Structure 1
Amino acid sequence: MPDRSPPGYLVEYVNGGDSNHENHDNYISWSPKAVFEDAYQPTTAMAFGHAVEALKRGMKVSRAGWNGKGMFLYMEEQTTSNAAMERHLGLKEHFSHGGVIIKRAHIMMLTAQDDVVPWLASQSDILADDWCIVE
């Protein structure tokens, strides 16, 4: 007899949820093909928003359309330092956090020349769908 189940995906959630099937250690669910493909995106052709979420989770991302080899972005978490220790900035009087400099989280880029620079998205980067996770 032919299989009449609708096309779809068996999804196993490896980062949470108790096992709900004896043959799987993690929570599993069936997702119809159209629902799954609307909700999930391959990690080799992501939109910018998905790339930002990956950065927030500590992953590195890149664009397939970038000309330089080996370039990627990563996020530096917020840090603090003593304003007196960074007197070379000449801004000690501008910090109102009790002498502490708060460096907010920000996105950095490893360039094709193996330099690290702060990164700011262009309009093309924001609208691109060729973002991917770098291993």
Structure 2
Amino acid sequence: MTFEKVLPLLKDGEKAFRLGWNGRGMFVVRQKGYPDGIPCNKQTAEAWNLKEGDLFKVSPYLQIKNADGTHAMWVPSVGDIFAEDWEIIR
């Protein structure tokens, strides 16, 4: 499947991955963010020069589960955008 076809599915809450990725168990999801805000924790407050508990607004974003089990914000590469080996986890 192409990225153009998988993006709407991600927006609908599906999990997607590429067959060409080397890491096992890797996939991407859409995080809804916190458009109305969420109280920030100590780490976020320190990073953004805020007070712990201040309202922190977050826009929607893509997040990847890496092969080592960690998670990170994710932006597709040019290779990811033009790849045709996208799959949905069902």
TM range (shorter): 0.7 to 0.9
Please, what TM-score do these two structures have when normalized by structure 1?
0.56
Structure-2 change in CA distance of 1:128 and 1:91 (3 Å): same
Cα separation, 2, equivalents of 1:125 and 1:114: 20
Which residue in the other structure is 1:91 paired with? 49
Cα separation, 2, equivalents of 1:114 and 1:84: 22
Cα separation, 2, equivalents of 1:124 and 1:56: 20
Cα separation, 2, equivalents of 1:109 and 1:84: 22
Cα separation, 2, equivalents of 1:84 and 1:114: 22
Provide, for residues 68-117 of structure 1, a one-character-per-residue CA deviation record: whole Å limited to 9, x for no partner. Answer: 11110011102121358642234339xxxxx5321111101111111111
Aligned positions, number: 85
Task: Give the unaligned 5+ runs of structure 2.
Answer: none
Cα separation, 2, equivalents of 1:59 and 1:92: 34
Larger relative contact order (Cα-Cα within 8 Å, sequence gap ≥ 6): 2
Preserved contact between residue 84 and residue 92 of structure 1 (Cα < 8 Å):
no
Please, what TM-score do these two structures have when normalized by structure 2?
0.82
Cα separation, 1, equivalents of 2:48 and 2:61: 22
Which residue in the other structure is 1:65 paired with? 20
Which residue in the other structure is 1:75 paired with? 30
Higher-Rg member (1/2): 1
- The 4+ residue runs of structure 1 with deviation greater than 6 A are none
Which residue in the other structure is 1:49 paired with? 4
Q: CA deviation at 1:61?
A: 0.2
User: How many percent of aligned residue pairs carry the same amino acid?
Assistant: 27
